[in-house]
Each structure stands twice: as structure tokens, then as C-alpha cells.
Amino acid sequence: MRWSLEAYEEFVYQIHRLSPFLLYSTLVLKRREKLAAILSGEVAFANDLKLSVYERLNFSSPETGFIWDYGYEVKVGDAVQYWYDSQPHPNDPTLQITHPQHKHIPPDIKHHRIPAAGFSFHQPNLPFLIEEIDALFFTKPGVPLE
């Protein structure tokens, strides 16, 4: 699918349909220009779990993708579990497979980075993030979501 700003905005405001554990969303898409916007806010789940979202979007050049950069952080209460960002780390050969996209994980969450398979600048990342949250925090291995 080729995304437009209008289609992405509609998708964002229907985000609650992606998970039975999603309680509410404070995501707001703020238009900056005719084809540019900032998406920011939180998606709240059961058990005091929150996904903070920041995306800088531009739909004027589809070949380069519409997500120009992003940051996603998953917290339970005040404890950061992990985060994803698109800040380049060109000197880290372990991240080159998904450069510049990567995930920060414990134990040294600021410096421990792994490739972020499944992320895109051409498609929404929110479905992947919400599926990952459901799988990691709300389902038992081998038990499908109801």
C-alpha cells in the first residue's frame, strides 16, 4: 500500500483495534506542512504498560519512505523495558543489517543495541510494536490471543 498523510492519520486514530490489551491512546498527528507531520503521544495497555511514540513524517517523497525518523519506548510503570530509534550508528557493524534502525535492550539499555528487524520507513511500525508488546507481556508461548 502506498500511504498518504490522510490514510496514515486515519490509521493512527483507529489504533485501538490492534490489541485487546490496548486501553487508550493519546497519539496526536500534528500537521507541519501540506505533506509533513509529527506523530507523538502514548499508547496505554493493561498492567500499567505504555508505548511512547515519536515519528517525524513526510509524504512528499514516497521512494524514500514517509517515516523520516522515530523513537519508540516501552515502559511498565516508570521502568523502561526497551526502546527503538533510528539514530545512525555507522561504526557498529552488528547493526548494519537494519541500519539505522535498532533496538536498545537491557542490561545496559543505553549502550546495548541490537538490529531492529521488522521496522520500515515505508510502512507503519505501530502494528509490529503492538504485536510485540502483546506477545512479550500478555500472552503465554503457544497460546494465541483471543
Nearest one of 13, 82, 79 to 43, comparing CA atoms: 13
Judge whether 141 and 57 are in contact, CB under 8 Å.
no
98 CB-near residues (< 8 Å, 6+ apart): 115, 116, 117, 119
Overall pTM surpassing 0.95 (yes/no):
no
Judge whether 97 and 43 are in contact, CB under 8 Å.
no
Phi, psi (degrees; rounded to nearest 5) at 44:
-100, 135
Nearest one of 34, 103, 96, 106 to 70, comparing CA atoms: 103
CB 73: neighbour CB atoms within 10 A? 17
Q: Where are the domains of the chain?
A: 5-138
**Residue pLDDT, tens place only, 91-121:** 877 777 777 888 999 998 888 888 888 888 9
Cα(116)–Cα(85) distance, integer angstroms: 9
Band of residue 129 on the pLDDT scale cut at 50, 70, 90: very high
